[in-house]
Structure 1
């Protein structure tokens, strides 16, 4: 049997495992994750009010419940107490790294490190109950927030800042985050892009949701919209961008009444500095930009300041190095050829990548399917050579002997039960456990 370790249990990891067991009956797969919970960004990145997308967990569950797939949570590959890359390579015929892009891009401007300035990733992790997230008082004493970026994550955090308790309570959001957001005094959220609306990265479905929030109005600056060469005649744009402009044009044409909260969509503004006041961020200074005629923008030398006690940057994810693996710092990926890891330009036997760490943080969840398929095709083509090397009959027994304490599938199911029980006690449906101690304690209640 070909023994394969897949590191990472998000969509790319699960699709890799699925491809392996479907294409070859002689493959056994262990899916390792440093967290005790599977599903990666589907659990910890999809907004809690997006039940349809979160339901994808059911498809990933089917993969992890396959008889030839084992889930092993709590294994910190390359980290404290976990096996290193070289050791993992000794325990399996092949290892596929599906570790995603775990950090975010920075703006590189003065004041970015002020209290009250965060990445959208940190904010999402908090309200999604990631056990590494801390309650940093994101919305405490905040009246106005600026979200820098015009992609789907930017829309998500803007929407979550604008929702009330009635809309948040049915979600699986942790109780502390729910209480903080429900008590929030945020009355204005400004979402800002440095280019025009025809170049925004959000999808039309996400955009429309902003206009359907109870008690929330949308503000648009007609002059900014008109600066976009495609705004007046979007017929030549691809469908998604054309539909986005149709939504924005509809909003711009309707009268804006008084509402409890306001969301402002701003374009052609580039952040140049975060300004301090009272020991924390108090405003963002922007430079007005203008189309350069080549799809980009150029600065105009005109500036504007927008008040904000909370600034969330949402300008893209970035991969991080894993000790023992080669890493291209410029692209934030592991050098590879059709999924085969390259060391000094040469394919490294038995080492593979899939997902964002392979191709960069591009595409949607479904993009991981063909990406995983390509990697699996490379791996299975190499299988005859990989099988020549002997590996332990049960790598998990070795991992346990060396100090790892994996959370296997029954442990994860015990976590699910604990979250359902917590929801019942709180008068909600399911409420996520938000810290390591609670998650591991729940996992330990699983029947041996």
Structure 2
């Protein structure tokens, strides 16, 4: 009797869930069907949505509603609090599944190779995001003693970091931030936040809506220097060919020509300033040195040899995320991705049988959350082609209860989709007691208990 196609997905963030959705919407979902298990190292699902999106972005967090509907499907099981490869290895997964899709995302900070990055007070943006998003594996406190802060980078993560640093704790209190984050932000001394971009307004990677949201806070005065509004032919071409680029440029132009108001926290957006050195004294950050750049006609920039020293006491590096290398898989260290062709993992020019990637581990941390749908669809289409052509390997124990017995035999305290419902209810109950929608539970042990699992 034919059995369902068994697929393991490692990583239950948007990329992994979109892959599961694509499998369920395929012809293969018909008789005999597909059976999908999602493995997630956190006790809760949703990955980047839960631990990488700023808490004051309810619109983006609304994506969870659509992801929730996918995970509600009976063909999908969730195994949370299961780490690859310490709890389950690639060989283990191959024993239970016809195919394995890795969708582990990117959580580490990409390196910035300038002097001073190791000083006390120099932070990776990903670390800070994990703290204010209540990630269970980071410290519960964060040093927020600097009155003047620099943020390096002109993407949406840089905006999130700058906005959280510039807002008051009470503005963020209605969100799901846990108590330790609220208390930390109440002690925040930042009065000036300076965001630095190496190129110009037309090269900024902000999305228009995220940029405009900066100006919605009653406590944040957004300031743009009119001298930073400059375009060359490459910039003009970019504005003409991309509506979002043009909208970002227009917003920045409008801010550059208005009078500076009296909101208490100042947020400066600087362009054509390339970070050259983080300055230190007694091991701590005391300033930032940047080189002024100029456009070269193509939209790129060159250094002018003119340097400026900025009085800041902390520097946040928001220059991009980086995926962590996955054991037993080929690795491209330069891009921080698993080599692939159409989502098929490739090593030595050959497809690694039954092994696939999707999302940021495949293409790097580029684009918005929704862009991973296209990745997932392509990866799943090629997986199903390999299935039809008989190119997948045959697992030793494809029965659905085999992996359950394996995890229980290893003593892995795994959470389930039903457990997420319990955790969700517990967080909502905490929020309701304070007139809020939700308060996130931070400690891993508490998350497990709320999910009905004893660590």
Report the TM-score when normalising by structure 2. 0.93
Verify: 1:391 aligned to 2:397, yes or no: yes
Q: Paired residue for 2:229, among 218, 225, 229?
A: 225
Q: Distance in 2 between matches of 1:195 and 1:136?
A: 34
Q: Which residue of 1 aligns with 2:115?
A: 110
Over the aligned positions, Cα root-mean-square deviation in angstroms equals 1.9
Corresponding residue number in structure 1 for 2:101? 96
Give the aligned partner of residue 61 of structure 1: 68
Pick which of 179-188 and 437-446 moved more: 437-446
Task: Say if 2:248 is the partner of 1:240.
Answer: no
Equivalent residue number for residue 409 of structure 1: 417
Whether 1:355 and 2:359 are equivalent positions in the alignment is yes
The DSSP-based 3-state class of the residue aligned with 1:211 is helix
Displacement after TM superposition at 1:61 (Å) = 0.9
Q: Does the Cα contact within 8 Å between 1:12 and 1:368 map onto a contact in 2?
A: yes
**1:66-113 deviations in whole A, cap 9, x for unaligned?**
00000110111113xx01112211121111000112212111111101
The equivalences for 1:309-348 within 5 A come to 309-348=313-352
Q: Does 1:367 align with 2:374?
A: no
- Deviation, 1:271, is 0.8
Structure 2: 5+ residue runs without aligned partners? none
2:443 — aligned with what?
435
Deviations 1:36-79, CA, capped at 9 Å, x for gaps: 11001011111111111101111111111100000110111113
Q: Within 2, Cα distance between the matches of 1:16 and 1:227?
A: 40
Is the alpha carbon distance of 1:389 and 1:34 closer, same or farther for their aligned partners in structure 2, counting shifts above 3 Å? closer
1:125 aligns with 130
Q: Could you list the per-position Cα deviations for residues 383-431 of structure 1 after superposition, in whole angstroms to 9, with x for gaps in the alignment?
A: 2423744424122222221332210112222211221222234453311
Contact kept? 2:233, 2:299, Cα under 8 Å: no
Is the 1:162–1:213 contact (alpha carbons within 8 Å) kept by the matching residues of 2?
Answer: no
Residue pair 1:114, 1:280 contacting (<8 A) in 2 also: yes
State the partner residue of 1:76: 83
Counterpart position of 1:272: 276
CA contact (8 A) 2:203 2:235 kept: no
- Which of residues 375, 378, 381 is equivalent to 1:377? 381
Aligned with 1:173 (options 170, 177, 200) = 177
Equivalent position of 1:184 in the other structure: 188
| Structure 2 CA distance for aligned equivalents of residues 442 and 304 of structure 1 | 52
Q: C-alpha deviations, 1:127-151, integer Å up to 9, x for none? A: 1111112135231x21011000011
Aligned residues between the structures: 443
5 Å matches for 1:248-287? 248-287=252-291
Conservation of the 8 A alpha-carbon contact between 2:344 and 2:357: yes
Structure 1: stretches of 5+ with no match in the other structure: none
After TM superposition, the structure 1 stretch with the greater mean CA deviation from structure 2, 432-441 or 398-407, is: 398-407
Distance, in Å, in 1 between the alignment partners of 2:228 and 2:64 is 40
The alignment status of 1:423 with 2:427, answered yes or no, reads no
SS at match of 1:137: coil
Partner of 2:203: 199
Q: SS of 1:271's equivalent?
A: strand
Deviations 1:248-273 (A, max 9, x none): 11112211122211011101111111
- The reply to whether residue 8 of structure 1 matches residue 14 of structure 2 is no
C-alpha separation between the residues in 1 aligned to 2:287 and 2:398? 58
Map of 1:306 onto structure 2: 310
* 1:292-303 correspondence runs (5 A): 292-303=296-307
Separation in structure 2 between the aligned mates of residue 9 and residue 153 of structure 1, nearest angstrom: 21
